[in-house]
Amino acid sequence: MRTIVNRHPAALPTSSLIEQFFGDPFLGDVGARLGIAPTAETVPLALDLSETDTHVIVRASLPGFKKEDVDISVHEGVLTINATTNQTVEEQNEKFYRRERRTGTFTRRVLLPETVQAEGVQADLREGVLTLRFAKTQEAQPCKISLS
């Protein structure tokens, strides 16, 4: 399974648009009641992108993932986060009323600002949150100018 982000809505198939609409968290479980549950393709990895004077910071929600389940890369200014999970527990004699936990590979791509250095990234995964700290280039950092 793959998550494709930043695609123009007109380029998505109609069924995918409908799944996205009914999978919207503001609509509650309307989609589930109609038999249209969100899939891994329509539920991207949530992330925040922020900056300080010296760093660009990416925080991604990866609850339940271990370090060995996550692959991170930067190529031509695009950050790619791949997270793989497998549910290997099959419960016998159970009837599911709702089954939303997904298995497979979840991917999120985001364009980084041109002001970041791809080398020397600080990466940490704690309590379900992946934090990446990219140093800004020297030119992008603010400087203080003194009056003489």
pLDDT digits (tens, 9 = 90+) for 1-19: 444 444 444 444 555 555 5
The reply to whether 82 and 118 lie within a common domain is: yes
Instruction: Judge contact between 5 and 44, C-beta under 8 A.
Output: yes
The reported pLDDT for the residue numbered 134 is 94
Are 107 and 121 part of one and the same domain? yes
Give yes or no: residues 60 and 131 share one domain.
Answer: yes
Query: Which residues fall within 8 angstroms of residue 34, CB to CB, at 6 or more apart?
Result: 22
DSSP, collapsed to helix, strand or coil, labels residue 67 as helix
Domain match, 53 and 122 both: yes
CA distance 34 to 50: 37
Rounded to two decimals, the pTM is 0.62
In a domain, 122, yes or no: yes
Domain count of the chain? Answer: 2
Cα separation, 112 vs 44, in Å, equals 17
Q: Are residues 52 and 35 part of one domain?
A: no
55 and 30 fall within a common domain: no
